[in-house]
Chain A
C-alpha cells in the first residue's frame, strides 16, 4: 500500500491555500482597479470638461452660430482621446472637436456623467458659464477606459501570481528542509538495535521529535527487557531440561550394558523415546532461543545429517554439498521431520539439497505416507499458519524454521511414502561466507 507523504500533503495544502489567496487578491484587485480607474477617468473627464468650459466661457460670443452651421474645429494630426461637443438647448451641435460625432453625445438637458445612446462614449455634460443656452459634452471612448482597467488588472494579477509562485517554491523548499530531520531520524531508527547496550538513539534535533524519540526509546527498553527475560528463561529452561534428559539417556545407556538380554528390547524402546524427547526439546529450545534471530553459517549438509543422531534409519544426502542457513534451526527442523518419518515406519530417508535459485531441502521417505486429502488440508494450515489443531508439533516447528529463513514448508504428493520440502528462501535471507563445521 502506498502511504501518503506528509510533505506532499502539506505542499498540496499550501498550494490550495495560495490559490485561494491569489484568487482573493485578484478579486480584490479587480474590484479596486475597476472602481478606482473608473473614478480616475471620470475625474479626468470632469476636469477636462471644466477646463474646456472655462476656456470657452472666455469668449462665449464666438459660439453664437447660425442654425445651419455645425463646425468641427481643426486639429493637428493626433489620436484624439477626449472629444467634445457644444450643443444648444435644441440639441444642435454648435462646435465640436474634429473626432467628435456630428450627433449630440447627450440630451441638452443632461448634466453630469452619462453614456451616449450607443454606449460607446462616456460623457460629462456641463452648461457653459456665461452662455446658459449652450451645453458642453466631453466624451471618452468606453473601450479605451475598459482597456485601461483591464491592463491595470492584468499587470497587477501577473505580479501577484509571480509573487505567489515564488513564495510557493520557497515554502516548499523550506518544508523539505524542515522535514529533512525526519529522514535522518528514520535512518537512526533503522540502525537502532534495542538489544545493543552501547547504542542509543541520537538526541532529538527538534522539539517535535523529542516525544517520538522518547516513545521509541521507551518501547525499545521494554522490548529489550522482555527479550532479556525470555533469554534468561530460555537459559534456565535449557539447563532444567537438557541436563535431566542427558541423565535419562545416560542411565538408559548404562542399563543397556548391565541389563540381561530379556529386557534389552524395552530398554532400546525407552532410549528411542528418550531420543525423540531430546529432539523435540532441543528444537523447541532452539526456536525459543532464536525467535526471529537468525545465525546463518555455511555448513556441509552431510555433517549436519550425521549430527542428527538417528539410528535404525538410513539417511541419504544428495544434491548440493554446502548450504547457507542457521544449522541449529535447520537441524531442529530436520530432526522433527525425520522423526515423523521414523514414526511412520520409514527405513530410508533421502535428503535432497538445492542451493539455487533458492535453498531447499526435500525430505523423501519410504514410510506409510499421508492420505492425499489430508495433504491439502495440511498445506492450507501451513500456508495460513493456522497450526493449532491442524498440524503436529514437528510440522509446525519445521514451518517456523523455514519461515525464519524466508521460506516455508510444503508437503508434496509423491507416489509413495511422504515428501516434504523445507524452502529456505532466497539467498539474501541466508548466510554469509564463513564456513563452519558442525
Chain B
C-alpha cells in the first residue's frame, strides 16, 4: 500500500516511515504542505496527515482535497485531543483520527481496519479464483498452498489487488510500488515482477491491457 506521510517532526516521521515500510507499505514522507501539494495527483492508497505543519494546517489541505473530489483514505495524526478538534478533524474529510502519542502498532492496526472498512471487506482476505491474498499477513495462497513472494512482488500484487477490476498504468504501478524514495523501476522490471506473480500464483491472475497497464479482473 502506498502511503503519503505528512509529518514535520523528524524523529516521529522517520520512525513511522520505517515502521510502516517494515509492515510492507510504500511510504513517501513529506514535511510540509508545499511538498504535499506537489504530489497531490500521485496515486496514494492512504494519507497520514499531521494537523499542524510548518506552512499550514494539514486539515485545511485535506478539506481542500476533498472539495476537489479526491477520496483517498486519510488519517489525522495530531497532538490535539479535544472533542472539538476530533470533530473538526473528521469533518475536514479524515476517515480516522489518532491522538499522539500513539503506538505505531495501533496506527498500523487502524490502517488495516480503515482499508478493510473502505473496501467493504469483513476480513482482509481477497480471493481471485484459486488465489487468496491475505492483506493482514502479507501472504498469498495458490490452490490452498502458501506462496513465497519477494517484497517487490508483494507490493505489485497488493497494489493491483486493492484496485481489482481497474486498469493500473505502469507509471502508477511504479509509483505505488516504489514511492519517491525508491529507485524507479524500468518497464522491464515491472514486467518481470508481473511475470513472476503469474508464474507463482496463476497465469490468468494479472491481465496486460496493451498500451494502458495491468489489471486483476474483479
A interface list, Cβ under 8 A from B = 235, 238-239, 241-251, 253-254, 257-258, 275, 278, 281-282, 285-286, 289, 295, 309, 328
Contacts and interface: CB of A to CB of B under 8 A. Distances in A.
B102 to A, nearest CB: 6
B82 A253 contact: no
B16 A238 contact: no
Query: Which of A241, A243, A246, A248: most chain B Cβ within 10 A?
Result: A246
Interface centre among B22, B104, B105 (most CB of A within 10 A): B104
Interface stretch (B7-15, B122-130, B203-211): B7-15
A278 B101 contact: yes
B190 to A, nearest CB: 28
B103 interface: yes
A238 B11 contact: no
Given A235-B80, A239-B79, A254-B15, A246 B52 contact: no
Q: Which of B18, B79, B82, B101 has the most CB of A within 10 A?
A: B101
Given A242-B99, A246-B102, A251 B79 contact: no
Given A245-B101, A248-B11, A249-B102, 10 more contacts: A238-B79, A242-B101, A245-B100, A247-B12, A250-B12, A257-B19, A258-B18, A278-B101, A281-B101, A282-B101
A96 B141 CA distance: 153
B81 interface: yes
B109 to A, nearest CB: 12
Given A254-B15, A254-B19, A243 B79 contact: yes
Contact of A250 (B19, B52, B82, B83): B19
Contact of B105 (A246, A253, A285): A253
A419 B77 CA distance: 36
Interface in B47-86: 52, 77, 79-83
A271 to B, nearest CB: 9
B72 to A, nearest CB: 23
B101 A253 contact: no
A229 to B, nearest CB: 17
A288 B181 CA distance: 41
Given A249-B103, A250-B19, A253-B105, A238 B80 contact: yes
Contacts of B104: 249-250, 253-254
